[in-house]
């Protein structure tokens, strides 16, 4: 049968088990664990392509494990919203959708082991992280052809030769090497034209009897829905809805009403002009390719507007409005800088991965007197002397987000008010990954390690910081508007 959906580019596919497809087996298995979406997803596209090519049914298993560190009502609810969305999108399509929420640790591994026995080929998501999501965390060792596919960003991770030390150096690399990859984006809807055989009901019934799919749970937004799961119930769902539909609504709102103010006002917490897309990008509910495509469409962009002689400069590369260029610098340069670092450096989450000059300067100031010193609990409960810092922490705890500019201040102050840089690192990781919807992401490391000096240059000497850039709440309050933010997140206990 002629394949109408093209395969993913070879550079995005990594063989995890290099065996020929088991042609007598029952289906192609796509394990959706990081790119939790039905379009603009190279991994799903590759699975559709293989199903067409081998004339096999496609089974899409979306997993939600309770073994992931920091599993909580907040993170589960957001993921389940996305699963409900995917169930709607895959209804009556060429693939069979199988949402599976683990009710006890170890169940998902058993399900995957069982499915692997029946799969011709397994396709999975290649996501660089310090907490590997989905099946990587479950440590299955398949004895069947298995491919991990990279649908993380515009630049294939395998095409990046090194972990770049700065955004400038990475931007220079991108300016030279990204254009060729822009012409092969993932299919917006890879199942659209795919003619696939359906998975026999008998097979689905057998699997379902042993491992019931979680259709009931993903559609249930009641408070009690999550109560029987072995996850942290003390962190409530965030006041937003996960999933591709919500992500697209946010993207439209951003492009229509916020983008034009982005370059000028993105640092102002009171103005709230950023996209708010990072949780959706983290859970894979939206792809940076789709965001890029919608932005290009809105600004009638084409690759001939790229400027070839730009040499690492931020402005003027894309040939777009200054606001769009500023946004793409975050979405592409900064976001993918962090993904590349986490992909290429196994030690990305460890203190030792900081540049030598950073460690030397921080350690030479480790004995500096610290007028303020707080343990994790005081930080967590927003019990510092600084109202702006406390407000930022309350936003994180209540809403699962922090405005980027205050997030920088938040991290810098944890460095200043902890016993040393290692303690500061562990406090930042703990709080960010426990509470932030976009936590546990390569960019959690980028942001946190940026506060400690990664991707930055030396600055004039300061107590405690040494030559690492410092920040102060007074300066922040002078530079950007925070009055409304302060009153919104004033100390009112746990209430909103
Ligand atoms: C201490 C600290 C911790 C951070 N932890 C995280 C985290 O856990 N997860 C996370 O995604 N980002 C993290 N960041 C980066 C940044 O704060 C968020 O990406 C940004 O605030 C998300 O808001 P937005 O979607 O409205 O961004 P927008 O301004 O609309 O930008 C669009 C997208 O670009 C990317 N982006 C924006 N700023 C950055 C940046 N500085 N570095 C890398 N990518 C960026 C994000 O994917 C974002 O969604 C952290 C920064 C700091 C200083």
Considering the domain architecture, whether residues 288 and 435 belong to the same structural domain is answered as no
Considering the domain architecture, whether residues 130 and 204 belong to the same structural domain is answered as yes
Average pLDDT, the chain: 94
Q: What pLDDT is recorded for position 493?
A: 55
Considering the domain architecture, whether residues 136 and 265 belong to the same structural domain is answered as yes
Q: What pLDDT is recorded for position 447?
A: 98
Check: CB of residue 195 under 8 Å from CB of residue 4: yes
Considering the domain architecture, whether residues 194 and 76 belong to the same structural domain is answered as yes
Q: What pLDDT is recorded for position 315?
A: 87
Domain harbouring 362, CATH code: 1.10.579.10
Check: CB of residue 186 under 8 Å from CB of residue 41: yes
Residue at 324 is within a domain: no
Instruction: Give residue 305's pLDDT band: very low, low, confident or very high (50, 70, 90).
Output: very high
Distance 139 CA to ligand 1 centre (A): 29
Check: CB of residue 29 under 8 Å from CB of residue 115: yes
Residue at 216 is within a domain: no
Residue having the nearest C-alpha atom to atom 40 of ligand 1: 334
47-58: b or e for each residue (b if 16 or more CB lie within 10 Å)? bbbbbbbbebbb
Instruction: Give residue 139's pLDDT band: very low, low, confident or very high (50, 70, 90).
Output: low
Quote the percentage of the chain above a pLDDT of 70.
Answer: 96
Residue at 399 is within a domain: yes
Instruction: Give residue 223's pLDDT band: very low, low, confident or very high (50, 70, 90).
Output: confident
Check: CB of residue 118 under 8 Å from CB of residue 87: no
Check: CB of residue 39 under 8 Å from CB of residue 187: yes
Tokens at 272, concatenated: 């709230």
By DSSP bridging, strand 119-125 and strand 95-101 are unpaired
Q: Is the pLDDT score of 480 beyond 90?
A: yes
Residue having the nearest C-alpha atom to atom 17 of ligand 1: 404
Distance 307 CA to ligand 1 centre (A): 26
Instruction: Give residue 219's pLDDT band: very low, low, confident or very high (50, 70, 90).
Output: confident
Q: What pLDDT is recorded for position 469?
A: 98
Instruction: Give residue 131's pLDDT band: very low, low, confident or very high (50, 70, 90).
Output: confident
> Of 280, 298, 316, which marks where a domain is finished?
298
Q: What pLDDT is recorded for position 130?
A: 76
Handedness of CA 123, 32, 170, 469 (dihedral sign): negative
Considering the domain architecture, whether residues 376 and 294 belong to the same structural domain is answered as no
pLDDT (tens digit, 9 = 90+) per residue, 13-22?
A: 999 988 999 9
Please identify, by atom number, the ligand 1 atom nearest to the C-alpha of residue 266.
Answer: 29
* Mean local confidence (pLDDT), 374-390: 98
Q: In whole angstroms, give the CA distance from residue 161 to residue 251.
A: 31
Q: Choose among 101, 31, 116: nearest CA to 65.
A: 101
Considering the domain architecture, whether residues 412 and 474 belong to the same structural domain is answered as yes
Considering the domain architecture, whether residues 289 and 438 belong to the same structural domain is answered as no
Q: Is the pLDDT score of 237 beyond 90?
A: yes
Considering the domain architecture, whether residues 367 and 475 belong to the same structural domain is answered as yes
Residue 477, strand partner residues: none
Q: What pLDDT is recorded for position 308?
A: 78
Residue 426: domain span? 351-488
Q: What pLDDT is recorded for position 461?
A: 97
Q: Domains in the chain: how many in total?
A: 2
Considering the domain architecture, whether residues 280 and 410 belong to the same structural domain is answered as no
> Of 298, 315, 338, which marks where a domain is finished?
298
Residue at 371 is within a domain: yes
Distance 449 CA to ligand 1 centre (A): 13
* Mean local confidence (pLDDT), 164-189: 96
List phi, psi (to 5°) of 147.
-125, 130
Residue 299, Cβ density class (10 Å: 0-12 exposed, 13-18 middle, ≥19 buried)? middle
pLDDT (tens digit, 9 = 90+) per residue, 107-124?
A: 998 999 999 999 999 999
Considering the domain architecture, whether residues 290 and 359 belong to the same structural domain is answered as no
Q: Choose among 453, 403, 451, 399: nearest CA to 429.
A: 451
* Mean local confidence (pLDDT), 259-278: 95
Residue at 223 is within a domain: no
Ligand 1 binding pocket, CB closer than 6 Å:
266, 274-278, 281-282, 330-331, 334-335, 338, 404, 407-408, 411, 432, 436, 438-439, 441, 443-444, 446-448, 450-451
Distance 404 CA to ligand 1 centre (A): 6
Q: Is the pLDDT score of 496 beyond 80?
A: no
Q: How many CB atoms lie within 10 A of CB 187?
A: 21
Residue at 35 is within a domain: yes
Considering the domain architecture, whether residues 115 and 196 belong to the same structural domain is answered as yes
In this structure, of 226-240, 303-317, 319-333, the range with the lowest mean pLDDT score is 303-317
Q: How many CB atoms lie within 10 A of CB 380?
A: 17
> Of 254, 279, 298, which marks where a domain is finished?
298
Domain harbouring 267, CATH code: 3.40.50.620
Q: Is the pLDDT score of 137 beyond 60?
A: no
CA distances from 277 to 145, 269, 311, 488 (A): 34, 16, 29, 21
Q: Is the pLDDT score of 132 beyond 70?
A: no
Considering the domain architecture, whether residues 281 and 355 belong to the same structural domain is answered as no
Distance 39 CA to ligand 1 centre (A): 23
Q: What pLDDT is recorded for position 133?
A: 54
Residue at 283 is within a domain: yes
Residue at 59 is within a domain: yes
Helices (H), 195-273: 201-210, 215-218, 244-253, 259-265
């Amino acid at each position: 049968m002629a394949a109408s959906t093209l395969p993913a580019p070879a550079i995005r596919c990594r063989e995890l088990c290099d065996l020929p497809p088991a042609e007598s087996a029952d289906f192609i298995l796509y394990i959706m664990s990081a790119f939790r979406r039905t379009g603009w997803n190279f991994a799903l596209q590759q699975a559709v392509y293989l199903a067409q090519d081998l004339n096999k049914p496609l089974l899409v298993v979306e997993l939600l494990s309770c073994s992931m560190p920091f599993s909580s009502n907040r993170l589960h609810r957001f993921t389940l919203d996305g699963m409900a969305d995917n169930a709607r999108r895959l209804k009556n399509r060429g693939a069979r959708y199988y949402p599976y929420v683990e009710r006890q640790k170890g169940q998902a591994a058993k399900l995957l082991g069982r499915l692997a026995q029946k799969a011709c080929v397994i396709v999975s998501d290649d996501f660089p992280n310090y907490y590997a999501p989905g099946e990587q965390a479950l440590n299955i060792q398949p004895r069947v052809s298995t491919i991990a596919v990279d649908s993380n960003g515009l630049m294939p991770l395998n095409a990046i030769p090194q972990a770049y030390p700065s955004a400038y150096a990475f931007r220079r690399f991108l300016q030279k090497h990204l254009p060729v990859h822009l012409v092969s984006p993932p299919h917006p809807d890879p199942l659209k034209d795919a003619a696939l055989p359906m998975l026999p009901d008998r097979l689905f019934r057998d699997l379902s009897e042993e491992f019931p799919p979680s259709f009931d749970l993903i559609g249930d937004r009641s408070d009690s829905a999550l109560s029987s799961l072995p996850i942290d119930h003390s962190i409530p769902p965030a006041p937003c809805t996960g999933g591709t539909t919500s992500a697209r609504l946010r993207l439209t709102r951003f492009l229509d009403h916020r983008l034009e103010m982005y370059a000028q006002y993105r640092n102002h917490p009171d103005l709230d002009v950023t996209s708010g897309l990072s949780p959706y990008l983290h859970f894979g509910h939206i792809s940076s390719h789709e965001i890029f495509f919608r932005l290009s469409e809105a600004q009638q962009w084409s690759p001939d507007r790229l400027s070839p002689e730009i040499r690492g400069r931020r402005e003027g590369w894309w040939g777009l409005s200054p606001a769009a260029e500023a946004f793409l610098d975050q979405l592409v340069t900064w976001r993918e800088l962090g993904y590349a670092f986490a992909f290429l450096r196994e030690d990305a989450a460890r203190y030792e991965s900081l540049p030598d000059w950073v460690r030397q300067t921080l350690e030479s100031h480790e004995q500096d007197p610290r007028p303020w010193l707080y343990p994790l609990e005081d930080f967590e409960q927003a019990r510092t002397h600084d109202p702006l810092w406390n407000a930022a922490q309350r936003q994180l705890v209540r809403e699962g987000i922090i405005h980027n500019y205050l997030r920088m201040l938040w991290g810098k102050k944890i460095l200043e008010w902890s016993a040393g840089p290692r303690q500061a690192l562990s406090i930042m990781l703990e709080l960010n990954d426990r509470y932030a919807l976009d936590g546990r992401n390569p960019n959690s490391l980028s942001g946190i390690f940026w506060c400690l000096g990664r991707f930055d240059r030396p600055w004039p000497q300061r107590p405690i910081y040494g030559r690492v850039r410092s920040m102060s709440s007074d300066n922040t309050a002078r530079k950007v508007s925070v009055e409304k933010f302060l009153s919104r997140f004033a100390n009112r206990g746990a209430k909103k």
